[in-house]
Amino acid sequence: MNEADAVSDRIIILSNGKVICNGSSNFLKSKFITGFLLTIDFTNAIGPESFQEFAEAVLSVVTKNCKDAKIDGTVHQQFKIFLPHGSQKLFPLIFDDLEFHKDGLQINSFDIGTNTLEQVFIKVTDESEPNKTKDVNESKGKKPRGIQW
């Protein structure tokens, strides 16, 4: 998805062989916004053994202001927190708290970004298949039909 985001002028998303949507990367991200990613970069003083402890402490600070915040992933000295769409009004409170606890939580820096093209793809394809779980449940107990020779 990163390559498509970087080099494509127009992106077309298909689901079950049908075009679901198309547009530029920025258009799709703004149209199907799922939320924001808060990236926390720790100082080098944190070792792998204490990374989880500090990540949970930072998440606790963030969830004090935004209850629906969730850890989205970790990479080396960084981790990302997903903030849902509509939480923009809480950013000043979140940023103030992070800035206040920055030294104690060993935070080197933090920044906020929009959702990724991968998140847009997942949202769009999930929305295009509303009967997906119904179909799976209806087929329980039936033998799959294969190719007959």
Q: Where are the domains of the chain?
A: 2-129
Long-range contacts made by residues 48-53, C-beta under 8 angstroms, separation at least 24? 51/77
End-to-end CA distance of the chain: 40
Give the pLDDT confidence score for residue 130 in this predicted structure.
64
Residue 37 contacts residue 82 (beta carbons within 8 Å): yes
Looking at the domain covering 2-129, what would its CATH class be? alpha beta
Rounded to an integer, the average pLDDT of 14-34 is 85
pTM across the whole model: 0.65
Residue that wins the pLDDT comparison between 46 and 80:
80
pLDDT in tens, 91-102: 999 999 999 999
Bridge partners of 11?
23
Asked if the model's pLDDT at residue 143 lies above 70, the reply is: no
Confidence of residue 111 (pLDDT cuts 50, 70, 90): very high
In the chain, the amino acid numbered 111 is: D
